[in-house]
A and B are shown apart, each in its own frame.
Chain A
Amino acid sequence: MRNPLSKTIVDIKPSGIRKFFDIVSEMKDAISLGVGEPDFETPWHIRDEGIYSLERGRTFYTSNAGLIELREEISRYLKRRYDMSYDAKTEMLVTVGGSEAIDIALRAMVDPGDEVLIPQPSYVSYEPCAVLAGAKPVIIELKHENQFRLTAQELEDAITDKTKILILPFPNNPTGAIMERQDLEAIAEVILKYDLFVLSDEIYSELCYTEKHVSIVNIEGMWERTILINGFSKSHAMTGWRLGYACGPRHIIEQMYKIHQFCIMCAPTTSQYAAIDALKNGDEDVQMMREAYNQRRRYLVHAFQEMKLECFEPFGAFYIFPCIREFGMTSDEFATRFLNEEKVAVVPGTAFGDCGEGFIRISYAYSLEKLKTAMGKLEHFVGKLRAEGGNT
């Protein structure tokens, strides 16, 4: 029999997280700090609206681009929160999570051989999506000393005459890094100079703790060359509803629309009705969750200081990314031993790119009580490792 598989897909590495998932799920009473989704349930009024839509029998496809009421709410929300202007009818597409938006944006914008710049450490799907779209992913390794922000120099150094798109994943999973206005202005100059496009994944935009999120879209000359990706998973604790959206110039959205129309048809109808309510009546919930994450964030930053564990202060998302180089082991070894010896699961930084070596991702989408227990165990583990190191 001939090989049934595509060479492209076989060559793609499976996610590095899988291994930990398998071990943790077999371990009894392990504490996990490895989850990349909110610990809050979707606020009740939003769920209620989803249920109501089912009761009303709204069980049909919606228009391909998504319910127009929802798109209009998204348009108002983006204006109100971030001062962005997108036309609900022509410059917006409701997708199955931010994930679909990443995929179809890349597929709509690259030809074979085009290079896509992917700053890492970052979310696991950009690289495979770029490959599946036929592009060549080019990794930009972000640095701890820059607080894992992307600098203009790093960007310029990675550009070739084939470079077409820059993926901009801020606030960042796994580092918690953000890009402030001056950081964005600096890279915008390079983007203009080399005539690049930007895929800005701002799924964590509501989770910024020091100042309000600034988008590259708000930088002069960038709206025209940016596809903005956002969604409801992190802001409104709606991961399981699978709902996101992409916004951008009409001529790009039109082509993305075709892929979406043929491959997906439309985002889940129930989720779309629920999301209308999320945007109309959910601001207080978002605020409440942001405050809770911020309290946990401060707690962890303080706990690491006490443990003398090197870590820059993350200003966004719900992750903290401490450095474990002092222990002379790889991220994978550290995470494996931590799990086996203290029964706490964290994700090795390398799951998010090779340059995540020497770091671990800790999620604070957990109650303070859980985090406290886990930090007690981390302190014990770190103490043990330091004692071992002292002996040799």
Chain B
Amino acid sequence: MREKILSIIEKNSRIDLRELAIILGEEETDIVNEMERMEKEGVICGYHTLIDWEKTDVEKVSALIEVRVTPQRGHGFDSIAERIYKYPEVHAVYLISGGYDLLVSLEGKSLKEVSNFVSDKLSTLDTVLSTATHFILKKYKDHGTILGRKEVDERMQVTP
């Protein structure tokens, strides 16, 4: 039941719990209990909304920053990752295999704000060896959803 609930709410966190119970063929109370357990266990970490900010008047700039760091004795990458993720403008931090160590996803109001963050805050950290900033020009697909495309049913309307 857990995996099925998750696969549905991952796509639609606003689904009515009664309806969720119906489509999964479960009791509503069982669904509610399971959701609460998953929230407590930290399996469910939040209920977010996927927004195409391009379609709003809000000015936003997103960037992905490759960061190479010196791992610290006893802490590895964890403490430096923590230093970085505490900044509210940082959206996501991932430890990455390959040519660099951390991938930082960042959001700011303008190019300048993002650049300032990188040069003032990120690069100046002792353990940071180098950064490479990639500004996002256009989002085609996010969280498994193709942005800006309207689904059209191309099927004939009545078929045997």
Contact = CB atoms under 8 A, between A and B. Distances in A.
A34 B157 contact: yes
Contact of A24 (B22, B23, B24, B157): B157
B20 to A, nearest CB: 9
B144 interface: no
A34 B158 CA distance: 5
Given A291-B4, A296-B23, A368-B23, A21 B156 contact: yes
A-side interface size class: 20 to 34
Given A39-B153, A291-B4, A298 B158 contact: no
B10 interface: no
Given A39-B153, A291-B4, A345 B158 contact: yes
Interface in B121-160: 153, 155-160
Interface residues of B, number: 14
Contacts, number: 54
Contacts of A296: 23
Nearest to B15: A368
Contacts of B160: 15, 17, 36, 123-125, 173, 347, 351-352
Interface string B16-38: 00010011110000000000000
B158 A295 contact: no
A299 interface: yes
Nearest to B7: A291
A35 B159 contact: yes
Contacts of B8: 295
B157 A32 contact: yes
Contacts of B25: 298
13 contacts: A15-B160, A17-B158, A17-B159, A21-B158, A34-B159, A35-B155, A36-B159, A295-B8, A298-B25, A299-B19, A299-B23, A347-B158, A352-B160
Please provide the 6 A-B residue pairs with the shortest distance between their CB atoms, ordered closest to farther.
Answer: A34-B158, A295-B23, A32-B157, A21-B158, A36-B159, A24-B157
